[in-house]
Structure 1
């Protein structure tokens, strides 16, 4: 929900329901560019809207903008039951492509079959290489949307037919600076590294256009939000544990705590109250020299203060303290005490 806009914002206004990209999103409020936000269509909840930005923009940018998939082409989608994989499945089917999807469990593979994947294979072995060739009559697929790493990533290149497009989503091989042999590329294969976050850094106009196009297609009913599981903000540890175990299908959504259900905050700082305020060491250089501290009781309508000092020599500053307090019309009682706390004597200055 938009709560404030800057002077240059034109498309959005306060109160608009939006889906957006923003850094530091595990917060009650975030600030982002207008280009990185788009209105949520009616009928889509905030939880459903949270499944859209990263997954659908990434898949749309990869398959539509870069690979330019066409009707009748074969698309191999690795990790098909993840958020990006499920979004890619919707986009590929919308474009009329035939989809081979991989997943790591029977439950996930059954889901992909039910959602319309033409063929579903296991991602737990390298058998998908030969199977993809067999299913396409030996010619290979036109597009690979890859999230596997290591040998599985390298072998996925072998599933491509001439003029195929390889769309790399995984970051592990990037950070490991993995090497690829160039031999597969002699067949006019194109390789694209995909990181949709960088669209709003280096190609902001393109990012805005693609994201707006995606939300418009949701408004027309072309795409549907992904399956998701909600965790409350105080369950975020469980959410990350589930993600680490790859035990989810679709997206994990963390819902902020409802401000109305939060306990009221206790006021902090100085609390004015009638009666007596005690300042330990109140006649020392810190107690009397720190003007803000010394004047606070007066400003907050407290009319009496009791500075306590330890036994010892009395500096000129300490001897002058009572007259200064008297000029302000405040009652002041001085008490001297030993370290053990026994009172030695007291003096009152009206």
Structure 2
């Protein structure tokens, strides 16, 4: 089969499109013929070695497609099922997927929408339902509000009754974030984020700050959280947050969280709960899936260059 393979970590040029052995479905697995593959910022961390993986490896953390083979002990899936999955080597024509990591998708949901929603949607939904349970009357600050996770966070926090403040870098992103649930926009290219947050919250700060940017926004996020508020740092788009002294949380008794999705979906019961709630939101048409661009598998380098440019809005996909 054709696949993207990383022999040595580095820049986008490390993504090599080449022949790779076609896998088989082993015990506890299904083999999926991919139709749509999600591109996520975590893929760049793996490619660069921020989150080390043994080389060579096939990157990718989600996809959607058709089951073409089932392992000898698999009873929950059959050949022909339409599925989406997380946590496997998805930048390839075929991906072996543990059954715990896969779920069937409704007939009226496209492969593209399923793949575009799954990883970022689960990340966002677990964040606003468990990381900080958003409720009516809250002020929530979402950094990079026009990104893939950011747009979903704006929609979800709005749906749960919060006043959503989104940060963006330009007018185009501001418009998109507003269309997806942000009540107030801060354009950090010419506005002081902390000052605007204080103005919008009557000097109190936000109940929760959801920060997927990382190093460059961490201090701003700390200053934007209100007393007894919550800061969730869930990404490293601008680099890894440097080590901190825990004492910096004390002045306002801030709760600091650094979640990873897979801790939320480690069991079948957990996966079924979060997947079920997420796809119910989609079935109820309560979520707008924003796909920025779809690339061919062999153009994964371009997709990584684009997502790291911070100029994209919404979700990037690879298709076969």
TM-score, length-normalised on structure 2? 0.72
Q: Is the 8 A contact 1:19 1:52 kept in 2?
A: no
Matched, 1:77 2:142: yes
Comparing 17-26 with 2-11, which one deviates more in the overlay? 2-11
C-alpha spacing 1:129/1:231, structure 2 compared with 1 (3 Å):
same
Candidates 53, 62, 82, aligned match of 2:118: 53
Shift of the 111–173 alpha-carbon distance from structure 1 to 2, 3 Å rule, reads closer
Answering whether residue 17 of structure 2 is matched by residue 17 of structure 1, we say no
For residues 83-98 of structure 1, the aligned pairs below 5 Å read 83-98=148-163
> How far apart, CA to CA, are the structure 2 residues paired with 1:220 and 1:242?
32
Considering fraction of residues, name the structure with more helix: 1
Counterpart Cα distance in 2 of 1:11 and 1:71:
39
Match of 2:282 in 1: 218
Cα offset, 1:160, TM superposition: 1.3
1:173 Cα offset (Å): 8.6
Q: Determine the structure 1 residue equivalent to 2:95.
A: 30
Q: Distance in 2 between matches of 1:80 and 1:174?
A: 18
| Partner deviation per Cα, 1:117-161 (whole Å, 9 max, x = no partner) | 110012346711111111011111111100233352122112111
Partner in structure 1 of residue 302 of structure 2: 238
Please give the alpha-carbon distance, in whole angstroms, between the structure 2 residues aligned to 1:168 and 1:240.
Answer: 22
Give, in whole Å, the separation in 1 of the partners of 2:268 and 2:154. 26
Q: Which runs of 5+ in 1 are unaligned?
A: 257-350
Distance 1:220 1:114, change over 3 A: closer
Q: Which residue of 1 aligns with 2:259?
A: 194
* TM-score, normalised via structure 1 length: 0.67
1:228 and 2:282 equivalent? Answer: no
Structure 1 residue 223 displacement after superposition: 2.0
Please list the CA deviations of residues 54-113 of structure 1 after superposition, one character each: whole Å capped at 9, or x if unmatched.
Answer: 211111111112211111211100001111101111111111111000111211111112
Please identify runs of 4+ aligned residues in structure 1 that moved more than 6 A. none
Q: Distance in 2 between matches of 1:203 and 1:123?
A: 40
Choose between structure 1 and 2: higher strand proportion: 2
Give the number of the structure with larger relative contact order, counting CA–CA contacts within 8 Å between residues 6 or more apart. 2
- The structure having more radius of gyration, on CA atoms, is 1
3-state DSSP class of the match of 1:182? helix
Provide the rounded CA distance (Å) in 1 between the counterparts of 2:281 and 2:163: 20
Q: Gapped runs of 5+ residues in structure 2? A: 1-65
How many residue pairs get aligned? The number is 255
